Structure 1
Amino acid sequence: MSLTNITKIQLKELQDLSGQIRFDTDEGKIWLGEQRVLLMQLSTLASFRREIISLIGVELAKGFFLRLGYHSGLMDAELARKIRPGMRDEEVFLAGPQLYALKGLVKVRLLTMDIDIQGGRFNVEAEWVNSFEVDICLTELGLMNEPVCWTVLGYASGYSSSFMGRKIIFQETSCRGCGDDKCLIVGKTAEEWDDISSFEAHFNSDPIVADRYELQKQVASLRSRLMRYDHQYYGIGHSPAYKRTCQAVDKAARSKVPVLLLGETGVGKEVLARSVHMRSERAKQPFVAVNCAAIPADLLESELFGVDKGAYTGAVNSRAGRFERADGGTLFLDEVIELSPKAQAALLRVLQEGEVERVGGECTRKVDVRVISATNESLEEAVKAGRFRADLFFRLNVFPVHIPPLRERVEDIPLLIEHFLEKLYKEYGKKTLGLSNLAMEACLHYQWPGNIRELGSALERGVILTESNESISVEALFPGMVMPTEGGRLSNEGRMMEDPPVNGDGLLSQIIDKGISLEDVESGLMRVAMNRCGQNISQAARLLGLTRPALAYRLKKGVGKN
């Protein structure tokens, strides 16, 4: 593709990118793809840059803004790959300069572009026109002694490095912000630069800042240890609802009474059961957990109370039950409502007498066990229905603790996500850019019927489906979920417009009323798209949200021809 044709595409074809911008004025949010973006006055950014320079000096400020731009470039490279799949390298790469212009950062006038991802070849030269950073300097800071387009330079390096899958370095060889006639940049692979140490130094810290960062790392490490220590006790969460639960757990731990944990499936009942144990005087003794629903009814008694040799066919050895193994410590009975009537009677005896009798045994054994039970159903209703013994219920229900579902502690979701992702990155040996802003929105508004367990599973799926250094999308977390897309968008002239109505009084209703067939609609859309794009299939496919092969196939069948 010639540079002339590329320039034409760069100037004229922004629909697939501008279509990613959505103004949700009802919620006070602006979206670019799945990432939330901001509109901010240039004078505000100018004041911010002046303050940063005054606070930490020019060199450190340059590194700060380079890193800021670099991260933004990474995010936009991900967007480009998603909305331009299957296209030429040059067409995908052009999304970067186009997004520059769309965001109001700078207009890019390409002078040379020779890129080949497979071959690892990258050579780009360009002129930057109307750089926002030059305007900041000329109006607020005055001419500088060196090039000033730090953020856009970092953006170019980050975008290109992500695009190529290798380190790409851009340098500004001429800049209007320091008195030159033009802003000129050159981008090459890191290996092709004679000396990039001065550039890469801005991604490190000077000794003073390094010392500060080292102290911050030590504080973060200590905080992490405290959090892990706290997590062992309480799990993760700082919401008011969860704090109340933790306060109840703290009080329960200091007593010796049985505790009944109540909550939906997946809320983390075993985590809090361990919390009670670890904060009690029995912390150094065994903690034994039993899922009563996972053990067949005919084996449950032998599992809980043990079995003597010869008690039944196959019992060739005597075996201690969970109660004996938990002697001196804590026994956690999850899904206690699933106990058989016979097991309920035996459990009641243990709670009353403090002794167990093995299946097939003739003697009793003293045990000192604190019982913590849990259920996601109402034991009171089970008592009324005759499924659960009333006397056992009163024994277990001495200290009930309600664990709130995840939808009632939304403030804890970001903390839980961070916790799960840290574990998953180690497990799968990869690291993403975290959740997209839209994916985080989806998590905060989803009802989570499976609670924390479901959240962990969704995040694991998201990490598996997402490549390293890419954002976890809504689709990766919730396959098939459709997020609301209402709101104002940009017209081709850059004006705000509302989405065309698609309800009963809108455009689709009009099409049906006029008797236009689905085939005619499809044919008309493709014909208009092809005419608008000068019969260029790739550009028309972008307009229609199709891949080039998909549009070519439809055209081959005769749909959309003049």
Structure 2
Amino acid sequence: MSSIHYPESTDLRGLLKFAPEEGLIWLGEHRMLLLHAGALSELRKELIASVGQEQARRILTRMGFASGMRDAELSRRTRGSADPAEAFVMGPQLHMLEGCARVEPVRLEINQPGCTFYGEFIWHHSWEAEAHVQAFGEVENPVCWMMIGYASGYTSAFMGRFILFREVECAATGVEHCRIVGKPVEEWPDADQLRPYFEADSIVGRLLELREEIEAMRRTIACPRKTPDLIGNSAGFLHAYDLVARAAVTNVSVLLLGETGVGKERFARTLHELSPRKDAAFVAVNCAALPDELIESELFGVERGAFTGAHASRAGKFERADGGTLFLDEVGELPLSAQAKLLRVLQEGEIERLGDERTRKVNVRLVAATNVDLLRAVNAGTFRRDLFYRLNVYPVTIPPLRERVGDIPTLVEAMMRRFETLHGKRLSGISDKAMHALKNHSWPGNVRELENVIERGVILAPLNGLVEVEHLFIGAAPESGLQQQLNASGSLDTMQQTNSIDLPDAVLDSGIELDAFEQALLNRAVERAGGNLSAAARLLGMTRPQLNYRLKKRLC
């Protein structure tokens, strides 16, 4: 391709949005910063002075490489259906939009099916060359390391193979402008000398890794984790974890308090795993899910003939948890008769099956949980005062997710890995705007709600792509707010921002098979309805027999 013309850049300008009242700038789903070039130049100068030119070059090259890879993802989304050359030059156009240089195309040969590439461009007004000359004067070798990293990262991501650009002329050496040439790495005779600048195994990188390992060891010593279920480093989370860890080595009954979805059962399981009882059973009971007439038989067991339908003797949850831990979720929902028997177990360590006159000794650690105000229930006469005081010996309050926003990125990363494995799907991560939306959501359903949102995002995101805002909050009220967009003259126009999603397109772009999507949808409806198939059917707009048919078909 000898004559290269940039297409109209309206689509690029449409990606760049300013929200000055929120202190945010977006390029597509990626957060951007409007920095003084002088500040970045000073950082560059300090890097060279502190770690040396070779290590500084490596760090800056990799910074540019990461930036270029992100812009390539924008190119695929914005011009994915265009001619390969027209789609590719979005990279140079973005580099100009971002203020790095004026990029003049010289030669571009691109063949994606055959994976052949050759590109040659001229940079006018390179910020990096100007910064280097200002700090160190003219030099003998090219110095636009971050910009070379950008060109290589963008092209490598665009082509799906490592394309290495090198600067064959640089304005910092006294010539008029910079000239860069890019081609597959194996076509460069000195590729082995150039590769290390794009790799992470630098001395500085190793030192940083070592520092992270030391910090991780310190956190482990301060708060040893033996279970993978709990994730977090916020002050409120660590305080709750510390209380649970201290209780684990004792036999004290623990009362877990917190809103729905904060992870009370996971804390209970962690307490069990940290305790000397870890090799015995952990038995969980949701008191709210059991009919009043069955609660006592479920908890304490039943003897044959105790009531109509009791055709055989059966051990209750307390006996099954003997030697281990019994977790009673929503303990505030227990009827008063069951509360009296529970109090006896806590005081005497013995239970009595329904229809039996014998008592049986049990050795059970009780962990109870509730999201209601038990003291208010005591005053209302629906919860026994003596049982409340017996349970409230060691209360642990688990903070809601909105009070531990700093834990959200770590939780999201772990959840994404799990759901990618579960759904057999590979993604490149989550966009900055999506993470910003997750951090600013109120999370009435807490960690459980976050888990559901992330699973939906993994299902709807395109293969090898990013999870974006539109994949997360389907059906939610559109986010609206004043934003400003760059017009053709370089001025800012005010616009109204809305987020919406075309669900059929999102499902098609996600790459998930129809059967797998239907299965996930059915499972989510049943989960949201708490196992009630009639309620799940109503959520799906179908009858219970229709839902039963689909569920049974999945099992065949």
Task: Tell me whether the two structures share a fold, i.e. TM-score over 0.5.
Answer: yes
Superposed CA deviations along residues 63-87 of structure 1, whole A, max 9, x for unmatched, are 1111001100111111222233432
For structure 2, the 5+ residue unaligned runs are 499-556
C-alpha separation between the residues in 1 aligned to 2:474 and 2:2? 40
C-alpha separation between the residues in 2 aligned to 1:217 and 1:240? 19
Secondary structure, aligned partner of 2:448: helix
Provide the residue aligned with 2:5 in structure 1. Answer: 7
The 5-angstrom pairing of residues 386-397 of structure 1 reads 387-397=382-392
Question: CA, structure 1 residues 129+477, in 2 after alignment: closer, same or farther (shift >3 Å)?
Answer: same
Secondary structure, aligned partner of 1:461: helix
Secondary structure, aligned partner of 1:101: helix
Provide the residue aligned with 2:546 in structure 1. Answer: none
Provide the residue aligned with 2:66 in structure 1. Answer: 71
User: Which of 485, 488, 499 matches 2:495?
Assistant: 499
Q: Does 1:44 align with 2:39?
A: yes
User: Which of 347, 351, 363 matches 1:352?
Assistant: 347
Paired residue type of 2:82: M
User: Which of 230, 246, 256 matches 2:225?
Assistant: 230
User: Which of 444, 453, 469 matches 2:448?
Assistant: 453
Paired residue type of 2:16: I
Report percent identity of matched pairs: 47
Provide the residue aligned with 1:187 in structure 2. Answer: 182
Does the aligned pair in 1 maintain the 2:6–2:93 contact within 8 Å? no
Superposed CA deviations along residues 499-521 of structure 1, whole A, max 9, x for unmatched, are 3899xxxxxxxxxxxxxxxxxxx
Superposed CA deviations along residues 174-223 of structure 1, whole A, max 9, x for unmatched, are 22223445422222233444442222111336774475366346536646
Does the aligned pair in 2 maintain the 1:75–1:470 contact within 8 Å? no
Provide the residue aligned with 2:329 in structure 1. Answer: 334
Following TM superposition, by how much is the alpha carbon of 1:275 offset from its aligned partner in structure 2, in angstroms?
Answer: 4.6
Following TM superposition, by how much is the alpha carbon of 1:296 offset from its aligned partner in structure 2, in angstroms?
Answer: 5.3
Paired residue type of 1:496: L
Provide the residue aligned with 1:521 in structure 2. Answer: none
C-alpha separation between the residues in 2 aligned to 1:465 and 1:143? 51
Q: Does 1:215 align with 2:210?
A: yes
Q: Which moved more, 1:380-389 or 1:324-333?
A: 380-389
Following TM superposition, by how much is the alpha carbon of 1:375 offset from its aligned partner in structure 2, in angstroms?
Answer: 1.6
The 5-angstrom pairing of residues 455-470 of structure 1 reads 455-467=450-462, 470=465
Paired residue type of 2:141: E
Provide the residue aligned with 1:303 in structure 2. Answer: 298
C-alpha separation between the residues in 2 aligned to 1:241 and 1:210? 32
C-alpha separation between the residues in 2 aligned to 1:400 and 1:209? 46
Question: CA, structure 1 residues 165+224, in 2 after alignment: closer, same or farther (shift >3 Å)?
Answer: farther
Provide the residue aligned with 1:367 in structure 2. Answer: 362
Question: CA, structure 1 residues 249+196, in 2 after alignment: closer, same or farther (shift >3 Å)?
Answer: same
Provide the residue aligned with 2:26 in structure 1. Answer: 31
C-alpha separation between the residues in 1 aligned to 2:240 and 2:46? 44
C-alpha separation between the residues in 2 aligned to 1:74 and 1:301? 60
Following TM superposition, by how much is the alpha carbon of 1:148 offset from its aligned partner in structure 2, in angstroms?
Answer: 1.5
Paired residue type of 1:499: M
Superposed CA deviations along residues 461-510 of structure 1, whole A, max 9, x for unmatched, are 223333566432111221255334523332211123433899xxxxxxxx
C-alpha separation between the residues in 2 aligned to 1:206 and 1:345? 64
Provide the residue aligned with 1:489 in structure 2. Answer: 485
Paired residue type of 1:366: K
User: Which of 161, 164, 170 matches 2:165?
Assistant: 170
Paired residue type of 1:372: V
Question: CA, structure 1 residues 118+307, in 2 after alignment: closer, same or farther (shift >3 Å)?
Answer: farther
Provide the residue aligned with 1:16 in structure 2. Answer: 11
Provide the residue aligned with 1:269 in structure 2. Answer: 264
Question: Number of matched residues?
Answer: 497
Question: CA, structure 1 residues 211+446, in 2 after alignment: closer, same or farther (shift >3 Å)?
Answer: closer
Question: CA, structure 1 residues 45+397, in 2 after alignment: closer, same or farther (shift >3 Å)?
Answer: closer
Does the aligned pair in 2 maintain the 1:234–1:246 contact within 8 Å? no
Question: CA, structure 1 residues 428+132, in 2 after alignment: closer, same or farther (shift >3 Å)?
Answer: farther
Superposed CA deviations along residues 302-361 of structure 1, whole A, max 9, x for unmatched, are 432234567678877655432123334432101223334543343233223221123444
Q: Does 1:322 align with 2:320?
A: no
C-alpha separation between the residues in 2 aligned to 1:458 and 1:394? 38
Does the aligned pair in 1 maintain the 2:377–2:383 contact within 8 Å? yes
Secondary structure, aligned partner of 2:181: strand
Provide the residue aligned with 1:514 in structure 2. Answer: none
User: Which of 248, 255, 260 matches 1:260?
Assistant: 255
Paired residue type of 2:18: F
Does the aligned pair in 1 maintain the 2:481–2:496 contact within 8 Å? no
Provide the residue aligned with 1:440 in structure 2. Answer: 435
Paired residue type of 1:492: A
Provide the residue aligned with 1:408 in structure 2. Answer: 403
Does the aligned pair in 2 maintain the 1:22–1:485 contact within 8 Å? no
Following TM superposition, by how much is the alpha carbon of 1:28 offset from its aligned partner in structure 2, in angstroms?
Answer: 2.5
Does the aligned pair in 2 maintain the 1:60–1:205 contact within 8 Å? no
Following TM superposition, by how much is the alpha carbon of 1:111 offset from its aligned partner in structure 2, in angstroms?
Answer: 1.7
C-alpha separation between the residues in 1 aligned to 2:261 and 2:434? 21
For structure 1, the 5+ residue unaligned runs are 503-562
Provide the residue aligned with 1:475 in structure 2. Answer: 470
Provide the residue aligned with 1:538 in structure 2. Answer: none
Secondary structure, aligned partner of 1:36: strand
Paired residue type of 1:38: L
TM-score (norm. length: structure 2): 0.78
Provide the residue aligned with 1:113 in structure 2. Answer: 108
Does the aligned pair in 1 maintain the 2:75–2:88 contact within 8 Å? yes
TM-score (norm. length: structure 1): 0.78
C-alpha separation between the residues in 2 aligned to 1:469 and 1:63? 27
Does the aligned pair in 1 maintain the 2:305–2:355 contact within 8 Å? yes
Q: Which moved more, 1:362-371 or 1:312-321?
A: 312-321
Paired residue type of 1:493: S
Q: Does 1:152 align with 2:147?
A: yes
Following TM superposition, by how much is the alpha carbon of 1:376 offset from its aligned partner in structure 2, in angstroms?
Answer: 2.0
Following TM superposition, by how much is the alpha carbon of 1:103 offset from its aligned partner in structure 2, in angstroms?
Answer: 0.8
Task: Please say which structure displays the higher CA radius of gyration.
Answer: 1
Following TM superposition, by how much is the alpha carbon of 1:440 offset from its aligned partner in structure 2, in angstroms?
Answer: 1.9
Does the aligned pair in 1 maintain the 2:483–2:497 contact within 8 Å? no
C-alpha separation between the residues in 1 aligned to 2:56 and 2:278? 51
Does the aligned pair in 1 maintain the 2:480–2:496 contact within 8 Å? no
